[in-house]
Amino acid sequence: MKTRNLIARFERPDMQHIDYGIGVLSADVFDRGPSAEAFDLAVLYHELSIQGLLGGFEVFDRFYEIGSVTGLAEAEEYFTMIDTT
C-alpha cells in the first residue's frame, strides 16, 4: 500500500522559518486561482490542502541561503566540508 503524505491544512501565518522546497503542480490547478492576476501560492496551497489535494515531504536538514554575505560564507563552508569527507 502506498503512503500519501497529505497536508491537512496549509496556512502561513507569521513566518518564523523559510518556506523552501519545490512545488510540482498540474496546470489545471491554476484554474482555481485568480485569473490574469499575480497571487501568493500560499492561497492556492491552502485551497488544495483543504480539498485533500496537497502533499508534502518535511525536511529536517538545514537550508543554506546564499542571499547574504554571511549566508554565502556558511554555505561555502558547508560544501567545502562535505566535499572533503
Give pTM, 2 decimals: 0.59
65 closest CA partner among 79, 75, 78, 51: 75
- How far is 6 from 4, CA to CA, in rounded Å? 6
Question: 21 near 59, Cβ under 8 Å?
Answer: yes
The list of the chain residues with pLDDT below 70 reads: 1-4, 12-19, 32-35, 83, 85
By three-state DSSP, how is residue 55 classified? strand
Q: What is the pLDDT of residues 36-45, one digit of tens each?
A: 778 788 888 8
